[in-house]
Structure 1
Amino acid sequence: MAFRRDFASNYQFLGAAFNGDLNLLKRLANELDMRDGLEETVANIKDLNGRTALHFAAVGGRAHVCRYLTAEAKLDVNARDGKGETPLHNSITADRYPTAVHLLENGANPIAATDSGLTPLHYAANSGLKKFLLLLILKGAEVDANANSGTPLKCAAIHGQKKAVKILLDNHANPNMIFDFIHPPLVASILASSFDCVKLLLQAGADPNTCSLGTTPLEVAASNGETQAIRCLLNAGADPNVTNSDVRILLPLTFPIPKVTDWSFDGIMKYVNSEKFERKRKLRKFEHFFLSASKGEDAFMRKDYVNAIRDLALRDATASRMVLPSLPKAHYTPKELPAIYQNSSSQDFKRAAESFLTGMRLDRKTRQLNDLFRDHRDILQALDMPPNM
């Protein structure tokens, strides 16, 4: 039976526990007792989240009320609320050290876990509560207890709690524990921008080359601009050329692309950085330009104006040339276009080349255009364009 009949009296009872009013608490306990006895009466008084009077007394830091509830009312010191939290969890959340000491001395379980696996040590590590950490470890807390969000060490690292990290490492917490879908403590400390935690973890033997969620600590530090962490990782032996091991493992199971002669990790990287691949990339980009423009015109004819606006934006340069034909910049083509004319002889490319030359005639002094013209005479000749101005 979760609630007594007098709802208001239930909450008055819980409030008395929180406020430390022991006399009121005892009086209400007697009034609410429907011949069930003190123990059953007190055990059945809970709030909507399943918290007992002991939970409320722990949050309020009322050790004397906790003593009455456990010694006289025989309330379970490890009673769990709707989330699986015990009064000990609550005392740590509220930073009530004397109450936590009393609970542990009277049977509170230091390794009790919530529904998500969080122990009291996780709570203390998360908030960097030094006294609680030492107390819990002394009472037998498991330093590497694993929850959905990782170990206490990971919780301390992700919040940059350097004192908590040191205490846990001094008590043999494992800095290299790997979890599914969770970063290890070293990466967590980098994400928290805690250089002190990074140093402590590396000094304790954290692997600077461990790979989690597809990234290494060095990659995370570089992507977040953590310069100090980068130096520290490199000094600790981080490999700046380390590659994702998952790619190497899966690569033999893939089908090779005929144009890539060396179907290995290094071979693929060499190909995608080659001039040949770069030319193909630019050609696709230019082809996409004309394809999008064509789609925009078709969409406009169908009165599909939303898509037309998106695609026709790529034809702004053409419109500019039509409206202001005497403006040199209306004829400028992007810098990379001359370099890909050699890949096609289509009329689209030829018109682009003609536009380029028109811009040259209107503005002979632009250094960029002159350099491009000089570098790509052979391309213009291949397209039957005049090589000389």
Structure 2
Amino acid sequence: MAPDASAALAVREKVQQFLNAAQTGNLDLLKKLAKQLDDGKGLAQTVVDVKDANQRGALHFAAREGQAEVCKYLLEELKMDVNTQDEDGDTPLTHAARQGHTALAKYLVDHGADPSIPSGLGTTALHHSAGTGDIELLKFLLSKDINVDSQSDAGTPLIWAAGHGQQDAVKVLLEHNANPDAKTDDDITPLLSAVAAGSLACLELLIKAGATVNFTAGGATPLHIAADIGSPEIINCLLQAGADPNAIDEDGWKPAQVAALRGNKVAVEILLPVTAPIESIPEWSVDGILQHMQERGKEEGQNKKAVRSNELKDSANPERSLPEVSAEAKSKAAEAKARADDAFRRKEYMAAVDAYTQAIDFDPTDATLLSNRSLCWIRLGQPDQALADARACKALRPDWPKACYREGAALRLLQKFEDAANAFYEGVTLNPENMELVTAFREAVEAGRKFHGTQQQKES
């Protein structure tokens, strides 16, 4: 190995050891490595400059793992910026709140952390404390005059709390005048989130606060969602609050039909008496609607199976389905990509999306373009589009670890932690030495365990 390459490798190893020391709370080792890494810029600046591929520094790692002594050293002795943001826009406070390190999060706020700073997706510490049910931190943050209805890509803190079945958090937020009818861009409200989470307690609190029960989101009403899930308690609660049993969804079905399609007989028994008869169903009875909808379901299932079969045939022979790309088209794609790359560097992400889209139109076989556009969507706070591009990228290059990383990152932002962990793990199997993927996999597993564990504790 050449001397320069050997020296660079040694530096990278020390950087990794330094960040690991922050993560594990080994303050003595962290100080020692910081001195070794200092190339004359001074200890404080050296520590600020040492970051991983996701622009996370020692303070981010220490906060994420609840290492209070390391945080105190970095803030009180080295005077680091407590509001430093990583590639995802997360501050140390956001990391601490996400992992439930209540005391440390409060310390960070007391030492200048701004709880209103949003991540790239708009999430704040308030969202995470609401989602995990950390009532102590939630009340503390609300006492700092933070916006109770701060919007993120996945909604307000109240939507997060309701969506995770955090009854106490919902109560606290409503007491602080959180809007029970706040909506995401997809028209998801706290009430709909509570229904989807199967949380009767949250639903009752929201209805008492005046939340609207009759609205459509994604082509369905909350009662349609409840009928699909089949919870008798939630269906009855919605009906008592005035939910319309005759509303139709995007398929033209009423809630009773949705319940019958799923074979939820108890739900059908509740809904049928309050539903106006449907002419297309010959026998208007519980058994009659169940039989009719089950037959409809089989027909639709066969149609979907045929469509899926054709899709699988195409994916089994990608070379046959991919178009030929001329040299001229590739040249134009390269020009568009160059414009997109420049826009990305200027943080003009929407302009970058437009240019990458032009490049993809010229050359739909280039997986790199889809990967880059997926990252732009993430920066714009659009995880659904990011996931679509990541999966399209993965379809083109299933053996590319970065495609797995892009898919996992989008799933993680959608809070689908188990799916995210699976995507990251698939990338790890392709490249076991990729520490970025290994770390992302571990974080997704831990985040999923945290959320599920909190929910189980509340239910028990």
Aligned partners of 2:59, 2:148: CA distance in 1, in Å?
Answer: 26
Residue 31, structure 1, aligned to residue 17, structure 2: no
Task: Determine the structure 1 residue equivalent to 2:153.
Answer: 148
Task: Determine the structure 1 residue equivalent to 2:171.
Answer: 166
Q: 1:179 to 1:90 in 2, by over 3 A?
A: closer
Aligned partners of 2:173, 2:24: CA distance in 1, in Å?
Answer: 34
Deviation larger for 24-33 or 45-54:
24-33
Task: Determine the structure 1 residue equivalent to 2:14.
Answer: 9
Q: Which runs of 4+ in 1 moved over 6 A?
A: 269-272
TM-score (norm 2): 0.51
Q: 1:106 to 1:229 in 2, by over 3 A?
A: same
Task: Determine the structure 1 residue equivalent to 2:299.
Answer: none
Q: 1:271 to 1:6 in 2, by over 3 A?
A: closer
Residue 98, structure 1, aligned to residue 103, structure 2: yes
Aligned residue-pair number: 252
Answer whether contact 1:51 1:81 (CA < 8 A) is retained: yes
Deviation at 1:4, TM superposition (A): 10
2:45 alignment partner, one of 19, 27, 40: 40
Deviation at 1:72, TM superposition (A): 2.1
Deviation at 1:82, TM superposition (A): 1.8
Task: Determine the structure 1 residue equivalent to 2:412.
Answer: none
Q: Which runs of 5+ in 2 are unaligned?
A: 1-7, 253-275, 283-460
Task: Determine the structure 2 residue equivalent to 1:201.
Answer: 206
Q: 1:24 to 1:182 in 2, by over 3 A?
A: same
Task: Determine the structure 1 residue equivalent to 2:435.
Answer: none
Which of 1 and 2 has higher RCO (CA within 8 Å, sep 6+)?
Answer: 2
Q: 1:240 to 1:85 in 2, by over 3 A?
A: same
Q: Deviations over 1:171-211 (max 9, x none)?
A: 11111112322421111111111111110110111111122
Aligned partners of 1:8, 1:29: CA distance in 2, in Å?
Answer: 13
Answer whether contact 2:100 2:132 (CA < 8 A) is retained: no
Task: Determine the structure 1 residue equivalent to 2:229.
Answer: 224
Aligned partners of 1:59, 1:206: CA distance in 2, in Å?
Answer: 35
Aligned partners of 1:20, 1:179: CA distance in 2, in Å?
Answer: 39
Deviation at 1:244, TM superposition (A): 6.8
Aligned partners of 1:128, 1:122: CA distance in 2, in Å?
Answer: 10
Task: Determine the structure 1 residue equivalent to 2:220.
Answer: 215
Aligned partners of 2:11, 2:165: CA distance in 1, in Å?
Answer: 47
Task: Determine the structure 2 residue equivalent to 1:353.
Answer: none
Residue 55, structure 1, aligned to residue 60, structure 2: yes
Answer whether contact 1:190 1:226 (CA < 8 A) is retained: no
Deviation at 1:239, TM superposition (A): 2.7
Aligned partners of 2:90, 2:160: CA distance in 1, in Å?
Answer: 17
Task: Determine the structure 1 residue equivalent to 2:130.
Answer: 125
Q: Deviations over 1:295-333 (max 9, x none)?
A: xxxxxxxxxxxxxxxxxxxxxxxxxxxxxxxxxxxxxxx
Question: Which AA in structure 2 matches 1:238?
Answer: A
Question: Which AA in structure 2 matches 1:214?
Answer: G
User: Counting helix residues as a fraction of each chain, which structure ranks higher?
Assistant: 2
Deviation at 1:272, TM superposition (A): 6.7
TM-score (norm 1): 0.60
Question: Which AA in structure 1 matches 2:115?
Answer: P
Deviation at 1:274, TM superposition (A): 10
Q: 1:25 to 1:84 in 2, by over 3 A?
A: same
Q: Deviations over 1:45-85 (max 9, x none)?
A: 11222111001111222222212111222221111112111
Q: Deviations over 1:1-44 (max 9, x none)?
A: xx997111112222222222222222222221111012210111
Q: 1:222 to 1:274 in 2, by over 3 A?
A: closer
Q: Secondary structure at the match of 1:110?
A: coil
State the structure with more CA Rg: 1
Q: Deviations over 1:260-292 (max 9, x none)?
A: xxxxxxxxx9997599xxxxxxxxxxxxxxxxx
Answer whether contact 1:17 1:25 (CA < 8 A) is retained: yes
Residue 111, structure 1, aligned to residue 89, structure 2: no
Residue 237, structure 1, aligned to residue 242, structure 2: yes
Question: Which AA in structure 2 matches 1:194?
Answer: S
Answer whether contact 2:96 2:104 (CA < 8 A) is retained: yes
Percent identical:
42
Aligned partners of 1:75, 1:123: CA distance in 2, in Å?
Answer: 24
